[in-house]
Amino acid sequence: MFRKVKDAIARFVCRCLMVPAAKKKGYGIIGEYLLSVEGKRALRDALFDCDDYKILKQKVRFSSLLSDEDFKNINLPQEDGMSISSFFSGKENWYVGPMSVMYGARCSHIGENFRAGRAFRLEVIEEYSGQRFSPSLEIGDNVSIQDFCHIGCVERVEIGDGTMIASKVFITDHFHGDISPDDLKTMPAERPLSHKPVKIGRNVWIGDGACILPGVTLGDNVIVGANAVVTHSFDPNSVIAGCPARLIRKIEDNKNEEREV
């Protein structure tokens, strides 16, 4: 009962008060949230439990408030002054869930039919604590990323077409420091970033909670088990799992059979 009352109040506040004001001031609406440059935290919290406020192009619950043109011009302010929609310039078939943060659009290319769930965090970093980088992020077509995933890039991260990434996956091409005795004298946040490129092939399936660490290359069709920590590269058609990840079996596509290791 309490939740229903809470949802009803949030719907009333959003529909009658916040949305008209936000539209008048040019704020953006995306996912479940209406956000402003200042950040409407109270409204965001109120809407967190409101299942009615998912905005997907095929399921616009704000239909009485947003026209098709409004939807196309969604603009969510980000820390680098660019919006989530700037990652998808000229593309219509994409979706990024609520609570997501993405920056580094000018160093990124994301293909067609991209999907990311709740709280997707994408950081393409050009500067950190005085260090300058020339990052490159390449995500192919038909890539699907589930909830609470984090991708960090300071050098190069490549994800191939058709790859599917489950929830709570972490992919990074950099560390805080280089794991040396000298680093222990400095707080992690103040250590210089060390980095190696990451490449994930086509049609890779990465299970829940996996970590893909710097310098890793995963060939096409690799399957990564849940909670695996991938510290080195694997050939195409490999099934891997564990901490650190190891080869479990190889799928022999030329013989149409599986070979256990």
Q: At 259, is the pLDDT very low, low, confident or very high (cuts 50, 70, 90)?
A: low
pLDDT of residue 65: 40
43 and 82 part of one domain: no
Read off the pLDDT of each residue in 49-53 and give the average, rounded to a whole number: 36
| Count of domains for the chain | 2
Q: What are phi and psi of 100, to 5 degrees?
A: -85, 150
Least confident span in 67-76, 84-93, 117-126, 151-160: 67-76
65 and 90 co-located in one domain: no
Rounded Cα distance between 224 and 239, Å, is 6
Catalytic annotation present for 232:
no
Examine the domain organization and report whether 53 and 172 are in the same domain: no
DSSP annotation of 25 reads H
Residue 77: its pLDDT value, please?
42
- Cα separations in angstroms, 120 against 5, 17, 26, 144, 168: 29, 28, 24, 11, 9
Query: What is the residue-averaged pLDDT of the chain?
Result: 77
Domain containing residue 183: CATH number: 2.160.10.10
The answer to whether residues 119 and 161 belong to one domain is yes
- Which of 109, 150, 174, 176 is catalytic? The answer is 176
| pLDDT tens track for 73-112 | 444 444 444 568 888 877 878 999 988 999 899 999 999 9
216 and 232 co-located in one domain: yes
CB 237 within 8 A of CB 255: no
- b or e along 194-215 (b: 16 or more beta carbons within 10 Å of the residue's beta carbon)? bbebbbbbbbbebbbbbbbbbb
* Chosen domain end from 30, 54, 77: 77
Q: Is 251 helix (H, G, I), strand (E, B) or coil?
A: strand
Range of the domain at 228: 78-260
